[in-house]
Structure 1
Amino acid sequence: MNFRAFLFALPLALAACGQSATAPEAPLAGARIGGPFQLTNQDGKTVTDRDFAGRYRLMYFGYTFCPDVCPVDLQKLMAGYRQLEGSDPQLAAKIAPIFVSVDPERDTPPVLKQYVTAFHPKLTGLTGTPEQIATTAKEYAVVYSKEKREGASDYLVNHSRVAYLFGPKGDPIALIPQDGAPDQIAAELKRWVQ
């Protein structure tokens, strides 16, 4: 092959290489996180994982009485989601943002309804019996425990601080940086949602 032919063929070869490149593998691909659940939403209706089939799920576990971490994380996650709605509404429509309470004793549906609507109208709040929450948290690799203080009627709940993105079939895809800036969160969602 002469030099001119080589120069002509090189861009074609590089273009072909670019077309065969595959998307990066999801960081949580194959992880044993997630599974079926049956909980109650903020409207008092029974909801299962099947109700979200075909949609991506952005899931965060926390509680409404959380004094600092949960509201800040949810504010950032929903700001990132809102930014994605503005830049790519069709992509954002494929995502179901979900808040699962780890404090079912206090987080009744009316309490959840007031809480989640403060962050975004599409944010679904889920609660259930203590047994349902314990089972769901275990399936989703979330750890939590009550921190009762001597003589105090109130309590805190220590819990894992993580936001998961699951695919349309419920498969784990990636961790979303709940403490990131809205543009980082939007970019990470855009990276994985097809």
Structure 2
Amino acid sequence: MSTRTFASIAILAVAAGLGISAWFAMKPASDDPFAQCRASAVSGGAGAIGGPFEVVREDGVTVTDAEIFTKPTILYFGYTFCPDVCPLDSMRNADAQRLLEERGYDVQTAFISIDPNRDTVEVVAEFTDLFHDNMIGFTGSPEQISTASKAFKTYFKAHTDEDPEYYLVDHSTFSYLVMPDTGFAEFFRREDSPETMAERTACFIDAAK
């Protein structure tokens, strides 16, 4: 792939990220019980992000959001054919999970594919195992993935018209902290380090006790 193509993809990804960022503001809400933990806030409140959906777990079992978020979870939407962003973000998320586990926190990471046509359960399982033994991968029907994506206000667009086999997918790149009892809690940007993610996640967990 040419440098020009990569540059075009990067521009599209940035543009998509800026569009999704309209949902987010940088000042925590004053009535937020987790305000001391947040570095950001969501337009409309935390309840504007998340909602019911179902996807197919990497072992082939269809599960609901309630069955996924049984412990604090760092969630990411991506795809396994992604040439650079998704692997880097997934490794960063896995590193944050390891840091939290070293501190005694029981957490998990989850990866939902936005490319269900290519990402079978076997492919997703193999991909997530590269980063952490306990990173859970999910895929599903296009309708299931669309519902999950809309719940978390993510963006994606597959360019199957350019290459029906080796196409790329533009997508937003936020990672989300989801708590088992309160749902969506926080989002992380690409520039957030594993240490920053671990520290903020630990704050939410401690505050929820």
Q: TM-score of the superposition, structure 1-length normalised? A: 0.79
Unaligned stretches of 5+ residues in structure 2: 1-32
SS at match of 2:168: strand
Which of the pair has the greater relative contact order for Cα pairs under 8 Å at 6+ separation?
1
Unaligned stretches of 5+ residues in structure 1: 1-21
SS at match of 1:148: coil
Tell me the residue number matched to 1:192.
Answer: 204
- Per the TM alignment, residue 107 of structure 1 is displaced from its structure 2 partner at its CA by 0.4
Tell me the residue number matched to 1:52.
Answer: 68
1:99 touches 1:123 (CA, 8 Å); kept in 2? yes
In 2, distance between residues paired with 1:176 and 1:187? 12
In 1, distance between residues paired with 2:196 and 2:49? 23
1:78 paired with 2:94, answer: yes
SS at match of 1:191: helix
1:161 paired with 2:177, answer: no
SS at match of 2:46: coil
- Per the TM alignment, residue 72 of structure 1 is displaced from its structure 2 partner at its CA by 0.3
Of 143-152 and 96-105, the range deviating more from structure 2: 143-152
| Aligned residue among 120, 138, 143 for 1:131 | 143
Structure 1 segment 24-173 matched on structure 2, within 5 A: 24=35, 26=38, 27-28=41-42, 29-86=45-102, 88-89=103-104, 91=105, 93=106, 95-148=107-160, 150=162, 153-173=165-185
SS at match of 1:81: helix
SS at match of 2:111: strand
- Per the TM alignment, residue 190 of structure 1 is displaced from its structure 2 partner at its CA by 1.2
What amino acid is aligned across from residue 37 of structure 1 in structure 2?
F
Select the structure of larger CA radius of gyration.
1
1:64 touches 1:107 (CA, 8 Å); kept in 2? yes
- Per the TM alignment, residue 117 of structure 1 is displaced from its structure 2 partner at its CA by 0.6
